[in-house]
Amino acid sequence: MASIVCTLGNDWTGEPAVFFMVILSDSASRGDGLLNITDQVSQAIARQVEPLEKWGVLPYFNYRSQSEQAKLDQPTLA
Amino acid sequence: MAFPDDLLELARRLADLHPESPHQASLRRAVSTAYYALFHLLISEATANWARPELRATLARCFDHGPMKAASETKVSQINAALKGDPSGGAEKEVSVHLRSVAEAFIQAQQRRNAADYDMAMEWTPVEAEAHIASVSRAFKTWNIIRDEAVAQAYLVTFLGPKERRPNEPKPSNVRTEAKKKRSEPGPPPTA
């Protein structure tokens, strides 16, 4: 895993939520290993941080690869 | 193939429609379609209990996204609390862990579906779509393992929402309201 960006907000029902954007290394985001790594990350956060139990906010997770994130971070030419 | 399986297969094909240069439209439709695959799987499992097959489609219209999310959230909280209080293993625990993973997958998939359909500020990537579809696909497999268990069937019934409360009946508490209460309670006075 490369990094996690965490944002507080509301989910689609208006309930308070915390959104985790998890940036995975390119090797971890390939093929069969993807589900395993995403599971490990979300379970580690949900069970150790306990956002729902301790903060009353539902955790949501999204995953990108490092190269995808780098591409999105590049400024676009108009 | 059943309709939910068809939808899941369609989601996979949509996500892979333009492998060289992924289009936002196909990635978004893939994410949304995968959610609907799980949504319709759970509804079809619930309505399959209705004895008259010709009325199942009508009954299916009674299910809605919001109450299904609320029911899933409650189920995750209940299972977390139960597992915390009983660290022992066993078949019952395994069923609970499976059920929790289905409920969690549903909550996640629903939020992503909403973002895919309505949040135009968000840029979807192939890995995001693939991770989402893999999680829904696993929820299908997990559901098949536990679908005949009493707790799994009880979970389906809760999708129809809580019963109407009588005017003086207290509201049931859940983890979210308890956490809110805890946050708003004044802490102990500072010590010198």
* Residue A10 sits at the chain B interface (C-beta within 8 Å): no
With residue A14 as reference, give the H or E element that holds it: none
Contact B125 A65 (CB under 8 A): yes
Nearest to A53 among B80, B177, B183 (CB): B80
**For range B140-161, the mean pLDDT:** 96
Predicted confidence at residue B192, as pLDDT, reads: 45
The pLDDT-based confidence of B60 (bands split at 50, 70, 90) is very high
* Residue A66 sits at the chain B interface (C-beta within 8 Å): no
Q: What is the pLDDT of residues B100-127, one digit of tens each?
A: 999 999 999 999 999 999 999 999 999 9
Residues of chain A positioned with their CB less than 8 A from the CB of B180: 56
Nearest to B176 among A34, A56, A64 (CB): A56
Predicted confidence at residue B163, as pLDDT, reads: 66
The lowest-confidence range among A22-31, B58-67, B113-122, B174-183 is: B174-183
* Residue A55 sits at the chain B interface (C-beta within 8 Å): yes
The lowest-confidence range among A4-13, B67-76, B178-187 is: B178-187
The pLDDT-based confidence of B57 (bands split at 50, 70, 90) is very high
Nearest to A61 among B108, B123, B176 (CB): B108
| Alpha helix ranges (H) inside A1-78 | 33-48, 66-73
Residues of chain A positioned with their CB less than 8 A from the CB of B69: 13
- Tell me the DSSP string of B76-145: HHHHHHHHHH----SHHHHHHHHHHHHHHHHHHHHHHHHHHHH-TTPPP-HHHHHHHHHHHHHHHHHHHH
**Mean pLDDT in chain B?**
89
Contact B73 A38 (CB under 8 A): no
Q: What is the DSSP letter of A25?
A: P
Residues of chain A positioned with their CB less than 8 A from the CB of B110: 12
Phi, psi of A23 (to 5 degrees): -100, 120
Q: What whole-number percentage of chain A has pLDDT above 70? A: 94
Predicted confidence at residue B179, as pLDDT, reads: 66
The lowest-confidence range among B66-70, B105-109, B164-168 is: B164-168
Closest Cα in chain B, distance from residue A69 (Å): 9
Q: What is the pLDDT of residues A1-44, one digit of tens each?
A: 679 999 999 999 999 999 999 999 999 998 778 999 999 999 89
pLDDT over 60 at B160, yes or no: yes
Instruction: Taking the CA atoms of B88, B89, B94 and B97 in sequence, report the sign of the dihedral they define.
Output: positive
Predicted confidence at residue B140, as pLDDT, reads: 98
Predicted confidence at residue B128, as pLDDT, reads: 96
Across the A/B interface, how many CB contacts are shorter than 8 Å?
A: 74
How large is the ipTM?
0.90
The lowest-confidence range among A55-59, B79-83, B153-157, B177-181 is: B177-181
Contact A12 B178 (CB under 8 A): no
pLDDT over 60 at B173, yes or no: no
Q: pTM (2 decimals)?
A: 0.88
Nearest to A58 among B107, B135, B178 (CB): B107
**For range B51-80, the mean pLDDT:** 95
Contact in structure between A28 and A52 (CB atoms under 8 Å): no
pLDDT over 80 at B189, yes or no: no
